[in-house]
């Protein structure tokens, strides 16, 4: 028996995208695969009974969907779907359904069944955590203003209230030290979207955003005096948190200059 094929329909798909899905469903069925058509997995509600249907699928499944495979694997894992052996493919990389199957279709007697799980879904926006990269530091929990995350000491960080997330905001992914947070719909940075071969890495802007938002103690500032910090601050700011170093008062600087000049005159008078 051939492994089943799951095809995720795209929320707000245009005509060409809808036709691509339908042609792929037909082709998979003609090749003898039982086909399950589901709504866009990312947008299915947390408590939807559709997740029970997905959890009941076999160990080996081919999934065609509209997001990158990595965030989809962790989205499925968050819903208790054992997808370690699933083959997950990105529909955005397919121009024609025939690309999915090199061999001609099987005899009509072997055509697979097509089943559709239909449920109205609304657009959603929330983070997906790569648990293999996450080191449970809790920075996302400390940083988020909207109560999206839950973190108990000694436990994994989890997305407890995904629909609290602010639509279009990927900020927490930018401050994650391990690059474990993905937003599958984010189209401005492949690493944030979880594209293959990419991972978001914490940069200076992300570190500074974290300290500014949370008020956490900066490990660099707390260990160095301002004089010591001045030697590593190329732009007059702490390289870790961005705190601007105190600048000498222009008046005090002028007084220091006068004192230096007077010292020079005094030295000259003694010679």
What domains appear along the chain, each with residue ranges and CATH number?
5-116 (no CATH), 128-214 (3.30.70.20)
pLDDT value for 212: 87
158 DSSP β-pair partners: 150
DSSP string, 88-146: EEEGGG-SSGGGG--SPP--GGGPPPEEE-----------EE-TTT-----HHHHH-SS
pLDDT value for 271: 46
pLDDT value for 150: 95
Q: Which parts of the chain register pLDDT below 50?
A: 248, 271
pTM of the model: 0.82
Report pLDDT digits (tens) over 131-171. 999 999 999 999 999 999 999 887 889 999 999 999 999 99
Angle CA 145–149–152, to nearest 5: 120
């Amino acid at each position: 028996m051939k492994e089943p094929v799951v095809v995720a329909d795209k929320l707000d798909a245009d005509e060409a995208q809808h036709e691509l899905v339908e042609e792929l469903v037909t082709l998979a069925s003609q090749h003898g695969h039982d086909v399950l058509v589901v709504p866009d997995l990312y947008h299915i509600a947390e408590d939807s009974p559709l997740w029970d249907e997905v959890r009941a699928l076999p160990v080996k499944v081919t999934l065609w969907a509209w997001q990158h495979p990595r965030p989809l694997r962790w989205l499925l894992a968050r819903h208790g779907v054992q997808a370690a052996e699933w083959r997950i493919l990105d529909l955005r990389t397919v121009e024609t359904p025939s690309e999915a199957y090199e061999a001609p279709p099987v005899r009509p007697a072997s055509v697979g069944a097509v089943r559709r799980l239909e449920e109205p879904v609304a657009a959603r926006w929330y983070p997906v955590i790569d648990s293999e990269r996450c080191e449970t530091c809790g920075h996302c929990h400390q940083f988020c203003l909207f109560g999206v995350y839950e973190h108990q000491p000694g436990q994994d960080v989890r997305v407890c209230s995904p629909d609290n997330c602010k639509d279009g905001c990927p900020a927490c992914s930018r401050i994650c030290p391990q690059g474990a947070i993905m937003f599958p719909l984010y189209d401005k940075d492949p690493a944030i979207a979880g594209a293959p071969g990419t991972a978001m890495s914490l940069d200076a802007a992300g570190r500074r955003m974290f300290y500014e938002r949370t008020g956490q103690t900066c490990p660099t500032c707390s260990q160095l005096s301002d004089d010591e910090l001045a030697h590593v601050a190329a732009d007059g700011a702490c390289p870790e948190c961005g705190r601007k170093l105190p600048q000498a008062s222009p008046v005090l600087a002028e007084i220091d200059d006068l004192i230096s000049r007077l010292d020079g005159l005094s030295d000259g008078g003694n010679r």
